[in-house]
Amino acid sequence: MSNNYDPVARYYDFLSWLVFGQAEINAQIEMLGYVAPGSRMLIVGGGTGWILEKIAAAHSSGLHITYVESSLRMMELSRKRNCGHNSVEFVLLPIEEFVAPAPFDCILTGFVFDNFSADKARAVVRQLDLLLREGGHWLYADFYLPKQKRKLWKAVLLKAMYIAARVICKVEASKLPDMGEIFGEAGYETVYTSWHYSRFIQSVVYRRAAGIIFA
């Protein structure tokens, strides 16, 4: 199975901290202010589930969260998290196979799209776009490497990460998709942007515009 993080589930958070410190965590939690009380929220690829505890610290109750994760071992760890009094539905599926009966107010994708080719990333955005209500927020965090003026150390680090991920987790991608371009094609409006780890990690809050059809 591609993009299988079972082999590193127990060590994933430690490895992230070892390389990036708190950057991956901060890149996601700083966007939680865009989660309104009482929201229906979709979390895609939540990893070990630490984000559920950060959400509970901001919203101790009232949220209806659907948590989609493809790794069984990651899901086992996530189920042990303190979610406060929020309602959480855990769904063990690759995101490409997920369907929902009603739209969400907010979607969180933290370090998900770096696993996908550009074509697959575009397909997943198209799929999730149908699940986000008009005016809803998409909280996006991931690595960032511009086509021009890229720093050598970032390119080397990213390449090493992809080699390790392919060997251990069978990650299908070998380079970052241009998510700014893909969200732009989908008509999303940028309402917030921030940078971490010397601009190697990007946080963006997008808003789904009304009346835009992502062809």
Does an H or E element contain 127, and which?
Answer: helix 118-129
Give the residue among 179, 203, 201 at the shortest CA–CA distance from 191: 203
pLDDT tens figures, 93-127: 999 999 999 999 999 999 999 999 999 999 999 99
212 band by pLDDT with thresholds 50, 70 and 90: low
pTM of the model: 0.95
Where do the structural domains in the chain lie, given as residue ranges? 6-207
pLDDT tens figures, 35-89: 999 999 999 999 999 999 999 999 999 999 999 999 999 999 999 999 999 999 9
On whether the CB atoms of residues 45 and 111 are closer than 8 A, the answer is yes
Of 2 and 31, the structure prediction assigns the larger pLDDT to 31
- What class has domain 6-207? alpha beta
* Degrees, nearest 5: CA angle 42-192-84: 40
